[in-house]
Chains A and B, each alone.
Chain A
Amino acid sequence: MASSGYNNLNAKLVLLGDMGAGKSSLVLRFVKGQFLEFQESTIGAAFFSQTVSVNNSTVKFEIWDTAGQERYHSLAPMYYRGAAAAIIVYDITSTDSFARAKKWVQELQKQGNPNMVMALAGNKADLEDRRKVTPEEARTYAEENGLFFMETSAKTAANVNDIFYEIAKKLPRAQPAQPPAGMVLVDRQAEGTRASSCCT
């Protein structure tokens, strides 16, 4: 949900794309500056936040990972609800993953809010010698469907910060998804302490 104060904006950002395309790796690189060669399927983490400064304002991204629910096409509508931005990730060494990315874009156009900022990320750009999807093909598709496109590498960090920065720049011009009207039961400030006492 995009909600704005004077100079800062909270924006929910969702990741989409096939298993193994590198969604979690992109987030880990962006949020923690880390890369793991053998990233396990997403377990235990589903909610990251990271703040980006653009011009005179800040954008605090609340980043939702799929938690593996995309594997059997079982993402809940809640996942898309109120999202201000989405990154659709594919693997440049797999034409299948690019085809699936297009399906995710369709899904977003159906489920997401119409003013959402959408980015297409051709990940694993460091694997040039195994490339199967050309940047031209992806860029053309992106332009036709109102997305912006970048090739990224979570491994080398190429374009990772840039893609989030680019989204942050485009956000303030987008309409807020929904006026934030509700309340959360637990203050997110205190979330860390509570999480540690929960469910152990």
Chain B
Amino acid sequence: MDEEYDVIVLGTGLKECILSGLLSVDGLKVLHMDRNDYYGGESTSLNLVQLWKKFKGSDNPPPNLGSSRDYNVDMTPKFIMANGTLVRVLIHTDVTKYLYFKAVDGSFVFNKGKVHKVPANDMEALKSPLMGIFEKRRARKFFIYVQDYNENDPKTHDGMDLNRVTTRELIAKFGLDDNTIDFIGHALALHRDDGYLNEPALDTVKRMKLYAESLARFGGGSPYIYPLYGLGELPQAFARLSAVYGGTYMLNKPECKVEFNEEGKVIGVTSEGETAKCKKVVCDPSYLPNKVRKIGRVARAIAIMSHPIPNTSDSHSVQIILPQKQLGRRSDMYVFCCSYSHNVAPKGKFIAFVSTEAETDHPESELKPGIDLLGPVDEIFFDIYDRNAPVNEPSLDNCFISTSYDATTHFESTVEDVLNMYTLITGKVLDLNVDLSAASAAEE
């Protein structure tokens, strides 16, 4: 341990493991440590015994739930957009070879008290019970405009400069009502609040295209994919990449105290009386609590069930977005469910999560509208945690701290943070121009 490293990474959450992998591949000498004796930190997947220990303080889960090792319960449940940036990172690094994926069955949205399939294109818009007959036609025109829109071909722009026109103005041109705007903005474009309405429309149009292209990619019922055995596989796969390129791994290292010189610059990390020297530290917020501030709180319910979520066409894996407006909230609520079909539970069992950004001092009760969609549950747990973001100046102290995972059930914000950190650490921009079409899902 008493060597000098270019970078010491603390915590084996997904963000830290992707960075560790990218930095090792770049030829940097990386030491990666975690205070826990398992990989994944906040983005690990727990077996049943671990789940019971964490939430019930006992290591004796009821035997009727099946074998502990058949469970992989995500602590930060998210789905992967099939054509999204995480898939680009996976292909760029060739980490895909360690992982098996399966498409996610369904993508739904909560609207006026009911759960509906999210329509993604003009044909689906015509069939969707989300809209009345005239609204369907207007929505169809809007979907066709978005599908045909090509940033480099002004003929497809219909005379509008989407860098200037706001989303609100674009939608007004097609005459869509608030209800339609709501599901398009939150369930298709995956905006987390309504700020996008006043932003240039290009971003929203690109997000809608990403959704539609991802949906077309694997011919499933959703634009999402998810790894067999749960998301905890992802940090492990990137850690393996880092190790293959020379990264050194140490789990179960207590303390991990970051050491500074008089100027406040990082000089190393101490654990169990030994100090490893380094030029830079990359870590999650829990390793440098004095350099982060609380930016919010996530409220999450975790349920073990013996049936799929009602009204989702028997989907064995599904996302339901409950837009803020539908609930009279300031932030969206997300329902996420997967099951034995992705090897995260024993045969016949389903794991459902309801997550949102906490807005009150009673976050558990805020989750009720989502929990109400689940039907009867075998067991339910509540996980409430603070979200932190760095407040330090990395150019002064050489500490690069990730932001806590948010409540969203997709990875777009996660990867954005990683790519920004990579640029801050190395001064380089990661080139993610990979050939997505070459990476069609090969059946093994």
Q: Are B442 and A184 in contact (CB under 8 A)?
A: yes
Interface stretch, picked from A30-38, A42-50, A93-101, A159-167, is: A42-50
- Which of B39, B87, B99, B244 meets A184, CB within 8 Å? B99
Interface stretch, picked from A70-78, A83-91, A118-126, A138-146, is: A70-78
Q: What separation, in Å, do the CA atoms of A12 and B212 have in the docked complex? A: 36
- Is B52's CB within 8 Å of the partner chain A? no
Q: What separation, in Å, do the CA atoms of A67 and B25 have in the docked complex? A: 14
Q: Are B244 and A182 in contact (CB under 8 A)?
A: no
Q: Are B442 and A67 in contact (CB under 8 A)?
A: no
- Which of B87, B233, B251 meets A73, CB within 8 Å? B251
Given known A183-B443, A184-B444, A185-B91, contact A69–B240 (CB-CB < 8 A): yes
Interface stretch, picked from A128-136, A150-158, A186-194, is: A186-194
Q: Are B97 and A184 in contact (CB under 8 A)?
A: yes
- Is B237's CB within 8 Å of the partner chain A? yes
- Which of B39, B243, B441 meets A68, CB within 8 Å? B243
Which residues of chain B are within 8 angstroms of A191 by Cβ–Cβ distance? 94, 97
- Is B248's CB within 8 Å of the partner chain A? yes
- Which of A45, A71, A72, A183 meets B244, CB within 8 Å? A45
Given known A187-B440, A188-B442, contact A199–B25 (CB-CB < 8 A): yes
Which residues of chain A are within 8 angstroms of B92 by Cβ–Cβ distance? 198-199
Given known A67-B244, A185-B439, contact A78–B250 (CB-CB < 8 A): no
- Contacting A at CB under 8 A, from B90-116, are 90-94, 96-102
Which residues of chain A are within 8 angstroms of B251 by Cβ–Cβ distance? 72-74
Q: Are A183 and B444 in contact (CB under 8 A)?
A: yes
Q: How far is the CB of A66 from chain B (nearest CB, A)?
A: 8
Q: Are A72 and B250 in contact (CB under 8 A)?
A: yes
Q: How far is the CB of A114 from chain B (nearest CB, A)?
A: 11
- Is B249's CB within 8 Å of the partner chain A? yes
Q: What separation, in Å, do the CA atoms of A178 and B94 have in the docked complex? A: 23
- Is B404's CB within 8 Å of the partner chain A? no
- Which of B22, B101, B236 meets A76, CB within 8 Å? B236
Which residues of chain A are within 8 angstroms of B444 by Cβ–Cβ distance? 1, 3, 10, 180, 182-184
Which residues of chain B are within 8 angstroms of A189 by Cβ–Cβ distance? 442
- Which of A10, A79, A186 meets B96, CB within 8 Å? A186
Q: Which residue of A lies closest to B228 (CB)?
A: A182
Q: What separation, in Å, do the CA atoms of A198 and B241 have in the docked complex? A: 12
Which residues of chain B are within 8 angstroms of A74 by Cβ–Cβ distance? 249-251
Which residues of chain A are within 8 angstroms of B38 by Cβ–Cβ distance? 77
- Is B396's CB within 8 Å of the partner chain A? no
* Chain B contact residues: helix, strand, loop or mixed: mixed
Q: How many residues of B contact A (CB 8 A)?
A: 45
Given known A181-B228, A186-B97, contact A43–B244 (CB-CB < 8 A): yes
Q: What separation, in Å, do the CA atoms of A187 and B248 have in the docked complex? A: 29
Q: Are A76 and B248 in contact (CB under 8 A)?
A: no
Proximity bits, B431-444, A CB within 8 Å = 1, else 0: 00000001111111
Which residues of chain B are within 8 angstroms of A185 by Cβ–Cβ distance? 87, 90-91, 96, 99, 101, 225, 439, 441-442
Which residues of chain A are within 8 angstroms of B371 by Cβ–Cβ distance? none
- Is A29's CB within 8 Å of the partner chain B? no
Q: Which residue of B lies closest to A191 (CB)?
A: B97
- Contacting B at CB under 8 A, from A1-27, are 1, 3, 10
Q: Are B94 and A194 in contact (CB under 8 A)?
A: yes
- Is B346's CB within 8 Å of the partner chain A? no
- Is A169's CB within 8 Å of the partner chain B? no
Which residues of chain B are within 8 angstroms of A81 by Cβ–Cβ distance? 229, 233
Q: What separation, in Å, do the CA atoms of A1 and B229 have in the docked complex? A: 13
Given known A43-B244, A44-B244, A191-B97, contact A78–B442 (CB-CB < 8 A): no
- Is B422's CB within 8 Å of the partner chain A? no
Q: How far is the CB of A85 from chain B (nearest CB, A)?
A: 18
Q: Are B102 and A183 in contact (CB under 8 A)?
A: yes
- Contacting A at CB under 8 A, from B400-444, are 438-444
- Is B184's CB within 8 Å of the partner chain A? no
- Which of B22, B87, B343, B442 meets A187, CB within 8 Å? B442
Given known A76-B39, A186-B96, A191-B97, contact A69–B243 (CB-CB < 8 A): yes
- Is B394's CB within 8 Å of the partner chain A? no
Q: How far is the CB of B88 from chain A (nearest CB, A)?
A: 11
Q: What separation, in Å, do the CA atoms of A168 and B100 have in the docked complex? A: 24
Given known A43-B245, A182-B100, A185-B91, contact A190–B438 (CB-CB < 8 A): yes
Q: What separation, in Å, do the CA atoms of A74 and B20 have in the docked complex? A: 15
Given known A69-B249, A72-B249, contact A183–B240 (CB-CB < 8 A): no
Q: Are A183 and B97 in contact (CB under 8 A)?
A: no
Other A-B pairs, 12, CB within 8 Å; known A74-B251, A184-B96: A68-B246, A69-B240, A72-B248, A72-B251, A78-B98, A178-B343, A182-B228, A185-B99, A186-B96, A186-B442, A187-B438, A199-B93
Top 4 A-B residue pairs of the complex, sorted by shortest distance between their CB atoms: A182-B100, A76-B236, A67-B243, A74-B249
Chain B interface (Cβ within 8 Å of chain A)? 22, 25-26, 38-39, 87, 90-94, 96-102, 225, 227-229, 233, 236-237, 239-240, 243-246, 248-252, 341, 343, 438-444
27 contacts between A and B (CB under 8 A): A10-B444, A42-B244, A43-B244, A43-B246, A44-B244, A44-B245, A45-B244, A68-B246, A69-B240, A71-B249, A73-B252, A76-B236, A76-B239, A79-B240, A181-B100, A181-B228, A182-B444, A183-B100, A183-B101, A183-B444, A184-B97, A184-B99, A194-B94, A198-B94, A199-B22, A199-B25, A199-B93
